[in-house]
Structure 1
Amino acid sequence: MFRFLARRSLGAIVILILISAITFFLFFALPAEPARLACGKNCDPTSLAMINKNLGLDQPVPVQYWKFMVGIFAGRDFAVGHCDAPCFGYSFVSQEPVWGTIVDRFPTTLSLALGGAAVFLVCGIGIGMIAAWRRGTWIDKFFSSLSLLGASMQIYFVGVLALAWFVSGLGIMDQPAYYPFTDNPAKWFSGMLLPWVVLSLIFMANYSRMTRSQMVEQLQEDHVRTARAKGLSSRTVFFRYAWRGAIAPIITIFGIDLGSLLGGAMVTEYTFTLHGIGRLAVESVQLTDLPMLMGVMLVSSAAIVVFNILVDAAYAFIDPRVRLA
């Protein structure tokens, strides 16, 4: 297990380096001039040259990239002061440290991702198991149709309708907003409830359909038939044998989805005006803010890569047929 994790970790580092290099060099292929954005409207050549020097934009692109990567691990000196590791530089637009901005925004994304994941995982798997247990009945057909309808929906459509009905119209739910959990848990819950529900409706459909199909497939396997032939109860066969074989593909998708949500649920955050990592990524692209864009990209990529490693490692404990070479 240790060798497997070490090998995957090294591979993850290589992937993150490639992502950072591609993002960095593609940025400088754009016709925009970052220093002019930081300089403002009344910008003269002297001020522009000073900003280029302060931000390190007067150096060759490979040198800028090397200093950026070194700054992540060892810190970096700028004209405005020293940036401690992990240093992703200073924003071209706000002149604020990138890492500090990401740390400030991350609790919002973390609350959205973990809360929404808990809802759609429990509800999606539960609905899928009920549909598989009652396969062929009206319950199965009802949940299958409901899942198909949910999979066809989009967050920006369902979210706007939910805001209009439950917040503006009926007034039974609070306006979505993030409040620190440590300050007021009740307000944190009420402010994130509607985004959780809308986010879970979209993801829940996929998990219920996958759970049902995997359970139906597992119930036809030879080891399940053998367990039935031994006289075990249907409940024992369903939960102990079929469920264990069906959970592995579900965990794979869950690891990818959770990593993506932690990297920033852009559409959800924009729909509900939540200032998280996803909204920060969109803003950095719109403002051509390279340091902020690089920081968000690396944090998002790291979340996806780490959760993929954890999912692969979990296979050995969930499914005995899986062996890590």
Structure 2
Amino acid sequence: MIRYLIRRLLWALVLFFAVTVVTYVIFFLIPADPAQRACGQLQTQQCLEQAHHFLGLDRPVYVQYGKFFGRLLPFDFNGLAHGHSPIKMPSLGISFANRQQVNSIVGGAAPVTASLVFGGAVTWLLISIPIGILSALRPRSLLDRGAMMFVLIGISAHPVWIGLIFLYLFAFKVHIFPLGEYCNMINPPVGTSCGGPVQWFYHLILPWITFAILFAALYVRMIRANVIETLNEDYVRTARAKGAPESKVMRSHVLRNAMLPVVTMLGMDIALGLGGAIFTENVYDLPGLGRVLRLSLDNFDLPTTQGIVVFGTVAIIAFNLIVDLLYAAIDPRIRLS
């Protein structure tokens, strides 16, 4: 277990290094000049020269990347050489658009995206697991055919279109849900009525459903196929032949084995959902990482764009590592060594 964890951590470091290299090179090769964005409207020759020197654009690419990667590390080797503490806070840079620390920008938007992604994951599991199981137990029934119709619609419809339809029907016409707004669950702004767990949950119902429909459709199809396949296994027939109750056969033999691929898929799809959340956040005007990323691309705010990419990479690597460990704990047949 320890050896497996060490191997995974080393591979995660290699992957993180590769992603930062690719990200930095891509943005370095773009034709626009970052110094012009750093100077803003005051694009004098002196300001451009100072910006070039401050950003390190007057030095070779590998030196620029070294400074960029050094800011991401929690260790300060220069401080250690001068007798200071070697521990520092990793820095994602300073925004060109508003001169704020990218750490604070990402830190303010990340909880919104996390609320959308993890709440959406719970939503698509609550939808897909019962529908997939019932469809497998009653193949070619009216329920099964209806589930397959839901799968086709969910896979074919784009989240932007679904979100706009939901906003028009349930928010604008029927007035059941709000027209898009995010309420802070823990620390709502002073003087506003939009805050607290109840308002947070109420304002995220439509975004969760919009975000979850595509994944729920895929999971219904996968769970249905897994349950049908598991029902035909020898150990299931043996358990029934021994007189085990059908509820115990389903719970201990069928579902426990049929749900194992769901754990693997969940880890990959939550990572994928971090990128797909940009559509839902822009439809419902949620101040998450997706909307911040779009605004940073529109404004050519390179530090913010790079910071979000780096933060997303770390989150995806960490979550996939957790899922791998959970998968090994759930299935005792897996030997990590």
TM over 0.5: yes
Residue of structure 2 in register with 1:171 after alignment: 175
Return the TM-score normalized by structure 2.
Answer: 0.89
| CA distance in structure 2 between the partners assigned to 1:284 and 1:60 by the alignment | 25
Q: Secondary structure at the match of 1:74?
A: coil
Residue of structure 1 in register with 2:288 after alignment: 276
Residue of structure 2 in register with 1:150 after alignment: 154
| CA distance in structure 2 between the partners assigned to 1:178 and 1:227 by the alignment | 50
Cα displacement string for residues 179-211 of structure 1 (whole angstroms, at most 9, x for unaligned residues): 111242122112211101111222211111111
**How far off is 1:163 after superposition?**
0.9
Residue of structure 2 in register with 1:319 after alignment: 331
Q: Is 1:136–2:116 an aligned residue pair?
A: no
Root-mean-square deviation (CA, aligned residues, Å) is 1.9
| CA distance in structure 2 between the partners assigned to 1:235 and 1:217 by the alignment | 18
Residue of structure 2 in register with 1:225 after alignment: 237
Contact 1:12 1:305 in 2 (8 A): yes
Paired residues for 1:54-133 under 5 Å: 54-72=54-72, 73-74=74-75, 85-133=89-137
Paired residues for 1:188-207 under 5 Å: 188-207=200-219
How has the CA–CA distance of structure 1 residues 95 and 55 changed in structure 2, closer, same or farther, with 3 Å as cutoff? farther
How has the CA–CA distance of structure 1 residues 95 and 86 changed in structure 2, closer, same or farther, with 3 Å as cutoff? same
Cα displacement string for residues 118-162 of structure 1 (whole angstroms, at most 9, x for unaligned residues): 111121111111111222322222222222222211101010111
112-121 vs 262-271, greater mean Cα deviation: 262-271
| CA distance in structure 1 between the partners assigned to 2:126 and 2:158 by the alignment | 21
Contact 2:131 2:147 in 1 (8 A): yes
Cα displacement string for residues 38-69 of structure 1 (whole angstroms, at most 9, x for unaligned residues): 22345221121122223333322211111121
41-50 vs 31-40, greater mean Cα deviation: 41-50
**How far off is 1:233 after superposition?**
2.2
Residue of structure 1 in register with 2:191 after alignment: none
168-177 vs 37-46, greater mean Cα deviation: 37-46
How has the CA–CA distance of structure 1 residues 75 and 280 changed in structure 2, closer, same or farther, with 3 Å as cutoff? farther
Paired residues for 1:33-48 under 5 Å: 33-48=33-48
| CA distance in structure 2 between the partners assigned to 1:285 and 1:303 by the alignment | 21
Q: Amino acid of the residue matched to residue 284 of structure 1?
A: S
| CA distance in structure 2 between the partners assigned to 1:290 and 1:271 by the alignment | 24
| CA distance in structure 2 between the partners assigned to 1:52 and 1:36 by the alignment | 9
**How far off is 1:4 after superposition?**
1.0
Count of residues in Structure 1 that have an aligned counterpart in Structure 2: 319
| CA distance in structure 2 between the partners assigned to 1:136 and 1:235 by the alignment | 22
Contact 2:182 2:200 in 1 (8 A): yes
Return the TM-score normalized by structure 1.
Answer: 0.92
* Long gaps (5+) in structure 1: 78-83
* Long gaps (5+) in structure 2: 79-87, 189-195
Q: Amino acid of the residue matched to residue 92 of structure 2?
A: F
257-266 vs 305-314, greater mean Cα deviation: 257-266
128-137 vs 18-27, greater mean Cα deviation: 128-137
- Once the two structures are aligned, what percentage of the paired residues are identical? 37
Q: Is 1:285–2:297 an aligned residue pair?
A: yes
Contact 1:259 1:304 in 2 (8 A): yes
Residue of structure 2 in register with 1:80 after alignment: none
Cα displacement string for residues 295-316 of structure 1 (whole angstroms, at most 9, x for unaligned residues): 1111111222222222222222
**How far off is 1:24 after superposition?**
0.4
Contact 2:211 2:277 in 1 (8 A): no
Q: Amino acid of the residue matched to residue 67 of structure 1?
A: K
Residue of structure 2 in register with 1:21 after alignment: 21
Residue of structure 2 in register with 1:259 after alignment: 271
| CA distance in structure 2 between the partners assigned to 1:162 and 1:213 by the alignment | 30
